[in-house]
Amino acid sequence: MAFVFASFALLLLNDQPLLMLGYLLATHAVLRTAGIPWSRIGWLWRRMWAVSLTILLLWPLFYAVGEPVLIEWWRIRVTLPSLLEGLTSALRVDALAFAVFVLLVSTDQTRLVQGLVKLGLPFEWGLSIAIALRYLPLLDGTYQTITDAQRARGWSPERSTLFERARAYVPTLVALVIAALRLSDSLTRALAARGFRPGHPRTSRRPLHMQRGDWFALAVSVVLLATAILLRYVEL
């Protein structure tokens, strides 16, 4: 968690695109060193490329300041500083996503929730985070399954107008909502069967303690935080 907070400070307090790119390369190196396959890293990139491309394309159009001017046509004006700002923002969003990704793939969900509770987060909130981390990917897989089943029955969302496309997705969304309600009911019964009662103190069979690796990660986080403050507020 300290690594994520320090990474956020480093990425949000600085505007150097090379720093963002370097951080992205570093997170990829850390993931590969930890044995995370390229297919799993590519899974996150497949969900981030559209957001990154949108930022890169729209930022220069709405933040056309500075010189030199690269493109000027009608009311469209693209300058080199605005293009660099768009690139920096896109890289920052990707770097923030990978900072969280490193935490999620390197930390067991149970340990993550225990750590948050240890920091003072109410157990009920920690449980909600754990459920979200566990079941959001499951709902995404359920949506893909429903979509494939609808296509096998001749469903085609490619319509001429936006309204017709929205109407075409209604059966899929209805099936997804029904599946989510069934999942919620099953989860409620499972929690009740395990004696979960909000507001009661919880105990842990294996309490968390700081290990050597934790102290090392904390030291790296402090260095990152100090670097972020120096790059942001100190003139070198």
Our separate counts of H helices and E strands in the chain read 9, 2
Give the other-Cβ count within 10 Å of 87's Cβ: 18
To the question of pTM greater than 0.75 for the whole model, the response is: no
pLDDT band at residue 152 using 50, 70 and 90 as cut-offs:
confident
Helix-helix angle 80-106:17-33, to 10 degrees: 20
* Mean pLDDT of the chain, nearest integer: 79
**DSSP state, residue 115:** H
Q: Please state the rounded mean pLDDT for residues 89-98.
A: 90
CB 109 within 8 A of CB 130: yes
User: How far is 221 from 120, CA to CA, in rounded Å?
Assistant: 20
Assign 3-state DSSP to the chain and report helix, strand, coil percentages, each to 5: 75, 5, 25
What percent of the chain has pLDDT above 70?
A: 89
- Each residue of 124-133: pLDDT tens digit? 777 777 777 7
What percent of the chain has pLDDT above 90?
A: 1
Amino acid in the structure at residue 226: A
Highest mean pLDDT: which range of 90-99, 179-188, 214-223? 90-99
